[in-house]
Structure 1
Amino acid sequence: MKQLIDYILQYGHLNEEQINFVIQRSKVISLQKDECFSQPGKIPRQVGFVLEGVFRGHYYTNDGEDVTRCFIGENSLMVDYVNFEAQTVATEYLQACTDAQLIVFSKQSWDELSEKIESWDNIKNKMVQLCMYQKSRTGPVVSQDATTRYLEFINNYPTLINRVPLTYIASYLGVTQQSLSRIRKNIH
């Protein structure tokens, strides 16, 4: 729980009573590798904070191609926020790439934080802006060559290279797994 509180306090001040209220409104859950936190056709019901593990935001094209849009690691807020707030169905997956542990807030608990903690909306807005920025960050620039895209990936996600399947990284980079293997062999 300390990780979450430290994260929240980066964005504003809460007193001890408010911190306890946040803790009381949350719960810890575990997801196994490949389980989804959110998926298309279902209304997102929770806001998550990643304690352990890695998630990916992805979708399928009309041709059935699996496209990874972003990765979400430890100490990050994770939510399909627009659909969560509007209570409308998601269009993308938020899927565990590894076994994971999260702290989650239900929609009701999340709303209660706004009702009971005066500064919560300001704190929440800052956290959500960062979350949405990370999720909306477009993948590598396709006009760059594949090696440059891979080097940029290593720079942006240095701890993920050995934690997520290469097929997800290839999907994120917009290359085949065979191309990624060649690129990695030439670099390392």
Structure 2
Amino acid sequence: MKELIDYILQFGNLDKQQTGLVISRAIELNLKKGEHFSEAGRIPKQVGFIVEGVMRGYYYDNKGEEVTRCFISENSLVADYVNFEANTSSSEYLQACTDCKLIVFSKQNWEELSQIIAGWDNIKNKMVQICMYQKSRKGPVISQDATTRYMEFMENHPSLINRTPLAYIASYLGVTQQSLSRIRKNIR
């Protein structure tokens, strides 16, 4: 829980009692590689904080192909927040790329914090803004050639290269897994 509290305190101040209230509303959750945190067609019911591991956001395009939109790793919130807040069905999936350890808040507990901690809404809004930014597709510029996209991915996400399956990275870059293997071979 220390990682979560340290993260929250970047966005505002909480006293010991308020910190205790946050901790009392949270539960630990372990996801195995491949398990989903939230799924398309369902209403997201929780907000998570990644203590260990990598998750990805993905959807299916109009051809039925999987498209990885973002990667989310340690010390970040993970949620389909727009649909969580609106209580509407998601159109995307959030899936564990590796085994993940999370700290999770149910919708009820997340909303209760706003009612019992003065200033929580301000802290929450700042955290959610970063979560939304991380989840928004800031992926590769498709007009760039595939090698440039991969080089930029390596520069921007060095910790993900050896932790994330190649198929997910290829999907994120908009190339086939075979093309990505060739690119990686030529770079070495």
Q: CA deviation at 1:63?
A: 1.0
Between the aligned partners of 1:37 and 1:74, the Cα distance in structure 2 is 15
Unaligned runs of 5+ in 1: none
Q: List structure 1 runs of 4+ shifted beyond 6 angstroms.
A: none
User: Partner of 1:96 in structure 2?
Assistant: 96
Q: Which amino acid aligns with 2:46?
A: Q
Equivalent residue, structure 2, for 1:14? 14
* Cα deviation digits, residues 131-188 of structure 1 (max 9, x gap): 0001013310000111110011111111110111100000000001111011111111
Amino acid at match of 2:70: C
Identify unmatched segments of 5+ residues in structure 2: none
Query: How many residues end up aligned between the 2 structures?
Result: 188
Q: Deviations over 1:1-49 (max 9, x none)?
A: 0000000000000000000000000000111111100111110000000
- Counterpart mapping for 1:80-95 below 5 A: 80-95=80-95
Match of 2:38 in 1: 38
Q: TM-score, normalised by structure 1?
A: 0.99
Structure-2-length-normalised TM-score = 0.99
Looking at structure 2, the residues matched to 43 and 13 of structure 1 have their Cα atoms a distance apart, in angstroms, of 31
Instruction: Name the residue aligned to 1:166.
Output: 166
Mapping 1:6-155, distance limit 5 Å: 6-155=6-155
> Hey, what's the Cα distance between the residues in 2 that align with 1:137 and 1:126?
19
Which AA in structure 1 matches 2:30?
A: S
SS at match of 1:48: strand
Q: Partners of 1:68 and 1:40 in 2: how far apart? A: 14
Q: 2:158, 2:138 → 1: CA distance?
A: 18
Alpha-carbon distance in 1 for matches of 2:138, 2:99:
25
**Aligned partners of 2:108, 2:155: CA distance in 1, in Å?**
38
Show the counterpart of 1:2.
2
Paired amino acid for 2:14: L
Distance 1:75 1:137 in 2: 19
Distance in 1 separating the partners of 2:134 and 2:125: 14
Q: What RMSD in Å do the two structures reach over aligned CA positions? A: 0.6
SS at match of 2:68: strand
What is the CA deviation profile of residues 67-97 of structure 1, one whole-angstrom value per residue up to 9, with x for unaligned ones? Answer: 0000000110000001001111110000001
Q: Which amino acid is the alignment partner of residue 87 of structure 1?
A: N
Sequence identity (%): 71
The amino acid of 2:128's aligned partner reads V
